[in-house]
Amino acid sequence: MSEINTLDPSQYLIKEEPFYQPVADEIELFESGYASRMPIMLKGPTGCGKSRFVEYMAHKLGKPLITVACNEDMTASDLVGRYLIDINGTRWQDGPLTVAARIGAICYLDEVVEARQDTTVVIHPLTDHRRVLPLDKKGELVEAHPDFQLVISYNPGYQSMMKDLKQSTKQRFGGFKFDYPEEKIEAEIVSKEAGIDLAIAEKLVQIAQRSRNLKGHGLDEGISTRLMVYAGQLINKGVDPKKACTMALITPLTDDDDILDTLMTTVDTFFE
């Protein structure tokens, strides 16, 4: 692929408005943060709407969105770029962070805490008054486009001493604390996303809430909104609700047979 294509912002625009159900005043606050291009951190459990929120905001602001799923094997070069060798010799290829800084995209680093600390520090000069990205290997200093914004997410539940952001990284961001929405709102989200009756969505939420009470008592995480949407989609396709719950809500959650039995009993009380 030629570099011209990589730098075409239109390919990163979100064409259709994603459905996002606000929980409080996060939309207005994010807009205010964006006005000063404040780097933003989204904290919260898996599948609670963080990525959807960023997609929605990128669409609302009319800005391209470049998302990077971070992992522990990721190096700074994966973000910034590297030299590649091909038949024509050596050429530089920008990484996603560099592309975003050049074209003025919102760059979303999902699960940033997974990346090693020596990788995360590359964002430092981009997230203070300098707004620059040094490409050391290339000998170039990229000045961020005026529209560029950095957004990161992480799940504090997975945090350990080894996997945490340095204070010097944390204190470069404004933050939003996400959680699963309150019952009524979550049922509306599941009903709308999966195309099922509100009454059925409410039952799924009840089951999820029971599982969330088991967090720390045999479960690392309770059932997420995402899994409920999966269950709802199966029900929408005519799958028996009990089977849908087993497949989408219960089986992926744990390998502990006792907990699986407990959760299945909960499903039985809501769906005959």
Helix (H) or strand (E) holding 94: strand 89-94
Task: Report the site for ligand ATP in 94-153 (rule: CB under 6 A).
Answer: 110, 153
Give the residue nearest to ligand ATP (CB).
49
Specify burial of residue 70 (Cβ count, 10 A radius: 0-12, 13-18, 19+).
buried
Instruction: Pinpoint the alpha helices (H) of the chain.
Output: 3-6, 26-35, 50-61, 76-80, 96-103, 117-120, 167-170, 183-194, 198-213, 225-236, 241-245, 257-270
Tell me the number of residues near ligand ATP by CB under 6 A: 19
- 135 vs 208, beta carbon nearer ligand ATP: 208
Work out whether 43 is an interface residue with ligand ATP (CB under 6 A). no
Kindly tell me which residue out of 151, 229, 249, 253 binds ligand ATP, with binding defined by CB under 6 A.
229
Work out whether 21 is an interface residue with ligand ATP (CB under 6 A). yes
| Distances 196 to 180, 230, 254, 261 between C-alpha atoms, Å | 19, 11, 26, 26
Using alpha carbons only, give the angle 239, 245, 248 rounded to the nearest 5 degrees: 95
Amino acid at 87: I
Kindly tell me which residue out of 48, 80, 205, 263 binds ligand ATP, with binding defined by CB under 6 A.
48
- 47 vs 95, beta carbon nearer ligand ATP: 47
Work out whether 233 is an interface residue with ligand ATP (CB under 6 A). no
Work out whether 226 is an interface residue with ligand ATP (CB under 6 A). yes
CB atoms within 10 A of CB 143: 12
CA atoms within 13 A on the CB side of 231: 34
Q: What character string, x for contact with ligand ATP (CB under 6 A) and - otherwise, covers 249-268?
A: --------------------
Q: How many residues does the chain have?
A: 272
Kindly tell me which residue out of 225, 254, 262, 266 binds ligand ATP, with binding defined by CB under 6 A.
225
Q: What character string, x for contact with ligand ATP (CB under 6 A) and - otherwise, covers 51-90?
A: xx--------------------------------------
The nearest distance, CB 58 to ligand ATP, in angstroms, is 13
